[in-house]
Amino acid sequence: MAATESVGLRVAVNQCIIVLCDEIIDLIRREQNKKRRMWVRKWIARRSTHGFSSMLLKELSEEDLGEYRNCMRMSKEAFDILLAKISPFITTCDTIMRDAIPAKIKLEITLTYLATGNSFRTLQRQFRVSRPAISKFIPKVCDAIYVALKEYIKVSIILYFYCYKY
């Protein structure tokens, strides 16, 4: 009698295992078939080949230094010096999910924003960088510029305390 109960128990356990395996397989298939949300938009992913930095600014720095200076509000040499000073503060690491935005592009976007006052949406289209990313790194780049150049920048003490008090 104990042998038949043991066999019956094994059969029941095997059937449970089969049902559970079927459920797991169905769950995996449903997850794979889900419409995945886009992590990076396709047109933004083409930043390295079609972006403002990789196309127009590169051409201007090589062919028309006067227009480059007019666009960035500084010479190519001054830009490179500033970039070298602030790069350690604004450089981030690449992740498995995506490549980090280079420090050069962050500085170009920040200088364009400060010089023109363009909206983040316009900068997004121009440089092919997402608005949330722009809104996160512009204050960091401005802080890095201040830290790197604070001996050359005069800030009113009253304004300084007002900004950091509130």
The model's pLDDT over 58-115, given as tens digits with 9 standing for 90+, comes to: 777 888 888 888 888 899 999 999 999 999 999 988 888 778 899 999 999 999 999 8
More confident residue, 166 or 151: 151
- 21 and 89: one domain? no
What is the model's pLDDT at position 134?
A: 94
- 62 and 4: one domain? no
- 22 and 99: one domain? no
Quote the number of domains for the chain: 2
83, burial (CB in 10 Å: exposed 0-12, middle 13-18, buried 19+): middle
Q: 0.85 exceeded by the pTM?
A: no
What is the model's pLDDT at position 145?
A: 94
Q: How many residues does the chain have?
A: 166
133, burial (CB in 10 Å: exposed 0-12, middle 13-18, buried 19+): middle
- 46 and 61: one domain? yes
Q: Give the distance from CA 75 to its chain's centroid.
A: 27
- 61 and 113: one domain? yes
